[in-house]
Structure 1
Amino acid sequence: MTKNLTRTAAVLTLVGVPTGLALTGGLGPTVLVSTLAGALALMVSAVRRWPLAVLILTFSTVAAWRMAHLIEAGWVWPATAALVALTLAGRLRTAVIASGFMLVWGLNWDTFVYPHTGNWVLAHLGGEALWVATALAGATAYRNTLRWRAEVAGRLELEVHRRRAEERVAIARDLHDVVSHTLAVVGVHLNVALDAFDAEPEEARESLRLAQQVRGRAMTDLKALVGVLREGELPALEGLDRLLDQVREAGLEVSFNEFGDPVPVPAPVAAAVYRVVQESLTNTVRHAGAGRVVVTIRYAPDSVLVDVQDNGTGGAGMSDGHGIAGMRERVAALGGALTAGPGRTGFTVRASIPITE
């Protein structure tokens, strides 16, 4: 349970307890009800560290107030926040057993110790049972969603590593092909130059010039390939569609927009674009709690603009992470700039990367 959820649960408890008592007809003196609501909210604020202890203390407090007739309704529902916290901590069975115990206790108390009519008991305890079942089901669904998103984020990282390995093998083959081809072509031109050196010096000179051109192009290709091997980049944007599909499997609504005419993008720039999108989506899946994310790529003759915006609430914990810092360093190394932070509706990552030879 995150800090934001804990604060929200504490506030809802502070407001919800008096409201619930008023709706169920169990409202006692204002001072007592306010004291109970404040005490329960204070307990909930510690639920992240001690969920079971908070649940036991909350149940005990509510039961004591009911049996002392300080409030006239409510056995389980005032402890909803503690039950939800325990469920989110992976202890659903404990939450169900505790709820069942309190409902049975309340049934015995309201039926035999201080009897109420059958309709009153059915309305109050039946309503509590339905409320608690709904709360626990919602908490379980939310926890499963978080676990699924974390699993998808892990799959994204594994996919990146797999693609890196495949790309490095392909680049190794390219290195072999470039070197073999270059040596063969340069060897042919050198042989021609050697044969024509005395009889046809112009032809020899032309062969040497062509050999030098082939050598220059080969050096450029080798430099780019070796740089990719060193950095472990993925110099292709074709993999974005597959990346977006994997994020959609996590339950996120993903929109992808491209503007401008796609231009030939050098390998380092393509790799940086891919990394910005991949890392941003991974952060969204893991931390943002978002339901929708929009990925936009704008092409210009001399630059590429990448924009990733979600509608989540996890921006405060995302802006200082290592992933953001790594993206910023990667983009800066290419002469670009990256900004990341909370936007109007969520978290936004925006990078501008110049296209250079």
Structure 2
Amino acid sequence: MSFERPYEGLKVVDLSQGLAGPYCGMLMAQQGADVIKIEPQGGDWARLIGGVYGDHTAYSIVANCGKRAMAMNLKAAPSREITDKLIAEADVFIEGYRPGVAERLGYGYEALSAVNPGLIYISVSGFGQCGPMRDRPAMDPMLQAFSGFVAENTGTDGIPHHTPVSYFDMSTGLYAQQALAGALYARKDGAPGRKIEVSLLEAAASIQAVRLLSGYRTGPRRSSTAPSGTFKTRDGHIQINIVRDREFETFCTLLALDDLWATEKYRTIAGRLEDIDFLNDYVRRVTENWTAEDLSNLLSEAGLQNEVVQTYRDLVRHPQAEAVGVFSWLQQAGANDPWPVPNIPGMPAFEPGSALAQSPTVGEHTRQILEELGYGADEIDGFYADGVVA
């Protein structure tokens, strides 16, 4: 055990698919746990969405780096014996089925805790384990709509928009992992195993807590600073936020906005907010005459908050990201060139070529895991021939 690998020696059986549950398991693997991903013989459905490279997509790489993969038909009779052996020696079990499905398959908490009383059981769902919406499918875009996020993300076109960023899947995985960390710490002092339930619904509410509380009181989002927003330039866009009154004075001086500064009411944030649409439109007519880089340099030298609107490709190659070590370039099976995978904040950077930096292909470690469970070569060959494993 070390600060870098505090979960070394722990075993995790991960039956979850998609992103939320698997991301929790991936974090455990990066901190030293032996995480065994059990997926259908056709693979986790996250291997099929977006650009596909062999057995991988962006989802499967982010969710599974550092795990060992086993492909198995859970409905085949021998699979229960195999999973029981795995669960008997596991510390953690992760599932992401709709409520009730794990129980029907024989992998509910009561059944597994009978096999292993000390097991920490993580159940990840969309809308929670109870209530009128418990059985509804719930990918990230659905929770964006349900949780108020889409309504808050109304563009200048007046239309609410969802975002392609999987905020709620990823945050669900983070919340699950922090709850798991607490349970494992308590278990060190003799606490028994337990079931932890985490849903995308709860994560969506929690990760939006500040805006949710504000919006509950005041209604739809209103800007708290002015001028502020995304402004078009000659060659792109720039984000500008002017907060303090003295910043507005500096802003007006830099851009020769003398008539704005001459208007007394605009010298206070309250006055500027009254006419925010006018101010933003006024500033847009000015920024259109600048390049984004030149304007950003001017504002930055004066200490005003701004950033050029970048693409992901811009970010990956930016000197600041390179200086901080935001990304590691990891080669994965199926792709001709490496992927810029974000390193996990607060943890060691991925080491290209290492086991922790590899996302397994479907069933890559099936035979290895079966051998560790004590199955002989002939028996394992029989499992393959009978379609029990792949």
Structure number having the greater helix percentage: 1
TM above 0.5, yes or no, is no
TM range (shorter): under 0.3
TM-score of the superposition, structure 1-length normalised? 0.27
Question: Which entry has the higher C-alpha Rg, 1 or 2?
Answer: 1
Higher RCO, 1 or 2 (CA under 8 Å, sep at least 6)? 2
